[in-house]
Amino acid sequence: MRHRSEGHVPGEVSDAKDDAAIDAQAVVADAEVERDLAELREIRLARQRMADGSYGTCVDCGAEIDPRRMLAQPQTSRCVECQALSERA
């Protein structure tokens, strides 16, 4: 009676490596999609603030956001101080 040597076929080793590579790619792709979605949400919110006239004003303290900051990050909703606070929280 012959036994098949399961799990020890040379091809399976490289398959496992390929699977790991595909998993890693999927994780990276997921992270990219997450980041894109977060950016889209921020842009949508920024458009809402443009529509209601609060664009360029900090959502937390109501102060005018530094125009240079708005140029660098047009979708930002907080002034530098409040952004730092919210990131620490």
Residues in touch with Zn ion (CB under 5 A): 58, 60-61, 79, 82
Cβ at position 89, least distance to Zn ion in Å:
13
Residue closest to 76 by CA, chosen among 67, 85, 52? 67
Pick 50 or 80: Cβ nearer Zn ion: 80
Pick 40 or 61: Cβ nearer Zn ion: 61
Cβ at position 83, least distance to Zn ion in Å:
8
Q: What amino acid occupies position 7?
A: G
Residue closest to 77 by CA, chosen among 32, 89, 68, 64? 64
Contact call for residues 45 and 77 (beta carbons, < 8 A):
yes
Pick 32 or 74: Cβ nearer Zn ion: 74
Q: What is the DSSP letter of 2?
A: P
Cβ at position 39, least distance to Zn ion in Å:
21
